[in-house]
Structures are given as structure tokens and as C-alpha cells.
Structure 1
Amino acid sequence: MERDQMERKIISVSKKRQITIPLKYYKHLGLDNEVECTLEDGAIIIRPLNRDSGEFSVEILKDLIAQGYSGDELIQEFEAHSKNIKKAVTNMLEEADAIAAGEKKSSSFDDIFGPESE
């Protein structure tokens, strides 16, 4: 969908900060039970969640080769690093679920990056 062709929808936000994505948008984007949510230029952007760890694979391999690994040693290190990425992603998703369920407090922008400087 082109930005100028987008249909405008107003949706409600529940007391638990939950929203319902219009079915037309949900189907168009091929969404599943999880999405990626980012804050960009004062807007919340919701995108399909790409759980393909392949995007990390190239970066992991480049880093390991730069460290001098090759052959079987490269494969072993790659497998170890890949497992660590999967664990980190799983932990992040579990934390996001806990925040969404109200079981854990989320961090604010200032908590992470500090107060904005003038």
C-alpha cells in the first residue's frame, strides 16, 4: 500500500493499552500472533515479526572470520553464537510478553538513553 493510498482508521485503546488491528490491515500484512513495534518520528510502527535468524548469521560469520576462525572451528563458533542469539531473542520476547501482560514494568526512553540533552 502506498502511503497516500492508505485508508485512515481510528481504533480504540483499552485501559490495558491494547488495540485491535483492523482485519484488512492484519490480512494485508500477513500478521501472526506477534508483531514488531517501534517508535519512529513520534509514531508507533507495527510490522510483521521476522523470526528468521538469518539476518544475524551473516554478521556473526563476518565477525568470526575477522577474528581468524576457519574450517571446523568456524562452524563450532558459529553454532555457539547462533544459540546465544536464539536465547537472547527468546528472553526479549518473554520480557515483552510479561510487560504486555502487566507483570513487569517497562523501561522508559529516559531509563534506557538518559534524559534528552538540550
Structure 2
Amino acid sequence: MVIANEAVERVEWKRARVSQKRQVTIPQKLYEQAGIKDEVEFGIKGNNIIIRPVRENTANDNFSDLILADLIKEGYKDQELLQKFRERQAELHGAVKSLIAESGEAARNFKSGDDDTDELFGDVVED
């Protein structure tokens, strides 16, 4: 379903030569707009190469600040705090992996019609 008011993102294209060493210079305007500092990372989607600035992990990216806050409230200090922090981070990683696996299974079941969503959403009409 396409929403009429959906904003269409325009792409600004610039050309750059590729050297014999496979090097390119990023045009300054694009470099600044992307917020590139000293490193970029590359990805590929189809036949398109994606270049983006490396984003340093922040506490919010892996919930470290929330884990630490909970542990401090629970009264942990010093080495015990560090040990419990590592345990909770490992638990979080496992929980995320489980959620990903469960969502994949739900998607496969939905495609095959083996899920229970029709009971819940059977009256919803898709356009």
C-alpha cells in the first residue's frame, strides 16, 4: 500500500574517478553531509556499494547504561559490579538472538499459513 503523502527521498549523485589502486575521493559536500570523521564502512546491496561513516558504539546501542543503572540500584560495587555487568550483557545478547530466531520462525509460519494470526486479525483487509 502506498501512502499519498509519503515523502520521497531524493538522491544527490556525484561522479568520481576510480584510480588504478581502486581508490576514490569522496566529494567534500557529501563527506560533510554524511558526517564522516576518520573511518567509513562499506556494504553492498545488489550491485550498489554503500559507504557510511563508522558509528562508534554508544552506551545506548547495547543498553550498557541501562544495565549499569539497574546493577547499581541493586547494590553491586567494584569487581562484583563488573562481573554482574558482563553476565547481564551476555544474557542480553542471547535474548536478542532468541528474538531474532523467533521472529524468523513467525515469518515463515505466516507465509505458510501455519500461524494463529488469522484468528486475531482475520477481519483486517489488506489493500
State the TM-score, normalizing by the size of structure 1.
Answer: 0.46
- Which structure would you say has the larger Rg? 2
